[in-house]
Amino acid sequence: MSGLTNTQLTIKRGDTTNYNLSFRDEDGNVIDITGWTIFFTVKADIDDTDNDAVIKKTITSHTNPANGETKIILTSDETNLAIQGYVFDIQTKNAANEIQTIIEGTLTVTKDVTQRTS
């Protein structure tokens, strides 16, 4: 894995959203993420505590760890947030308990047209 990526995400309020992650080194070789933990945290303010995060996901079961693949799944309940901008990051904790922030940025929740669910 190489340096930190700054990203802007946009989601519709109340939509189920999936983010597929693929881990590779600087040469493009697959990184085996078996035993890794992925943390996805979204906050209204960067100074909020993790307990005050509006979304906090801990992923330990990966879609294809030997090939460096995992998925962050956000449910419609989790994305049913106030229409505004948030800060987020994704951190990894490898089998040696080394923690690294790999992606950070802003997440904007936009208004949905359809709000009914049935």
- Segment 14-69, tens digit of pLDDT: 999 999 999 999 999 999 999 999 999 999 999 999 999 999 999 999 999 999 99
Helical H segments across 63-102, by residue range? none
Task: Report pLDDT digits (tens) over 56-89.
Answer: 999 999 999 999 999 999 999 999 999 999 999 9
Kindly give the pairing relationship between strand 55-59 and strand 17-22: unpaired
Domain range spanning residue 11?
5-110
Asked if residues 71 and 20 have their Cβ atoms less than 8 Å apart, the reply is: yes
Position 117 in a domain: no
- Whether the per-residue pLDDT at 93 is higher than 90: the answer is yes
Position 80 in a domain: yes
pLDDT at residue number 4: 67
Position 116 in a domain: no
The encoded tokens of residue 30 equal 């697959």
| Mean local confidence (pLDDT), 1-20 | 86
| Domain CATH number, residue 13 | 2.60.40.10
